[in-house]
Amino acid sequence: MNTLAQLNFDNTFARLPEHFYSRVHPMPLPHPYLVSFNNEATDLIDLNSAEAQREDFVEYFSGNRLLPGSSPLAMLYAGHQFGHFVPQLGDGRAILLGEIKNKAGEYWDVQLKGAGITPYSRRGDGRAVLRSSIREYLCSEAMHGLGIPTTRSLCVVGSDARVYRETTETAAVLTRLSPSHVRFGSFEVFYYRRQYTQISALADYVIARHFPEVTNAADQYLQFLNTVITRTAKLMAQWQAVGFAHGVMNTDNMSILGLTFDYGPFGFMESYNPKYVCNHSDESGRYAFDQQPEIGYWNLSALAETLTPLIPEADLQYALGNYSTIFNDTYITLMNQKLGLAQNNQDFSLAWSLLKLMRTSQVDYTNFFRALSNFNAAPDEQNDQLRDQFIDREAFDRWANEYRQHLKNETASSQARSTQMNKINPKYVLRNYLAQVAIEKAQQDRDFSEIDILLKLLRKPFDEQPDMAKYAAPAPDWAQHIEVSCSS
């Protein structure tokens, strides 16, 4: 493992022409202090975790000093925000220090989020707040624990410097790790400027860097798009199955690699409600939970349009036509796995009827599916612990009888089925109130212990962890009024 001075930077994006970014240095963060350090992320960049004990560690990860070998820049992109095209966005508060090549040959971007003003800040202060930094830090690691593709987080550095959002808050810098920060909007900015040479140059770069298997294909751009469509469709299915709402699915927040990206006003479903809107800034419900699959398609269509200089229109439409099939097949498979049914069972009727019952009774999404692993399929068993979660118990009984009939066709034993269900139905997710408790302790008393507890808990969300059972509880009454917005 390496020291900070030995990190193996190989800054491929910085070697692209400066059409794609602006050179910029981080702004100093006054009196930085370490909030939390994720020692499990150090392996990604071959960093010795003991380096976090250095007195100057926070100087490097606040942006006050540059890591040796880094080449800081702010990336240029555009995007459709809530359906409206904005011709220039870019990293307004994030600075890419560079890319580290680890001993496995993998590249990881190291980005400081909240590192100060860039040419794309649009009158903003270039800062992130402690609240939102803690939320992204925890949720990116929670999603990784759930097996969902995501960016990662190395650490959070705080400061008493004041920043102004909906209220006055304190500043922070989040160090984000990702195989790439290229997004759909990275292509859109050049398409709408009619700079088609830059589109092909960016596509060539992304293919060579992330999709080398298609580099020599005659239709490499189409194969590239097909892969992005597949990854995005599967990601949307995973979000839906676990009950995750992103909150701001603008095209500039969509990763070209199909990663969960740019965490803001996210939320994990509490009581099941397909119309759940986790972002109180989203007054129209454009990014409601049940709209995410369709928005995924809409965003891919916007990306596909930018590739019209490289791919025939008929091929683009055919590729986009595969999205629904990939999403549906993946989602149905995941939902049937949550029910303990065979992976090749593509009948969605049982899951659909259950979701309708859960909506009517406002059943806790995560806890119900976790408890379902204990379902007793004996004919006379009422499964009271499950049944009592429903207002219409007789309706649940009818569903339970149908479920029993499906289970008769399964070859696995009840114990094996229960074990498999507990591998896909998490016991713990990052409920908003859990994050809020950690944030308030950090803000009021500089008590970061709750952050570290949640970080450890969410690494193994499928394990029982008996001493942590209280973290599986639904939101208490006081938490019903927590609101998150685009400033989150």
Q: Which of 252, 262, 282, 364 is catalytic?
A: 252
Which own/partner contact pairs does 278-285 have at CB distance under 8 Å and 24+ positions apart? 278/245, 278/246, 278/247, 278/484, 279/247, 279/248, 279/484, 279/485, 279/486, 279/488, 280/483, 280/484, 280/485, 281/485, 281/486, 282/82, 282/247, 282/248, 284/82
Token couple for 410: 């399964």
Nearest one of 414, 420, 366, 409 to 389, comparing CA atoms: 366
SS3 431: coil
Say how far residue 182 (Cα) sits from the centre of its chain: 15
Q: Rounded distance, CA 336 to CA 345, Å?
A: 7
Are the CB atoms for 246 and 222 separated by under 8 Å?
A: no
Q: Which two tokens stand for residue 311?
A: 């791919």
Give how far Cα 385 sits from Cα of 281, 375, 381, 389, 418, Å: 37, 9, 11, 7, 16
Locate 43 and state its tokens.
Answer: 């392996």
Q: How far apart are CA 386 and CA 372, in angstroms?
A: 7
Active-site residue 252, yes or no?
Answer: yes
Which residue numbers are catalytic?
252
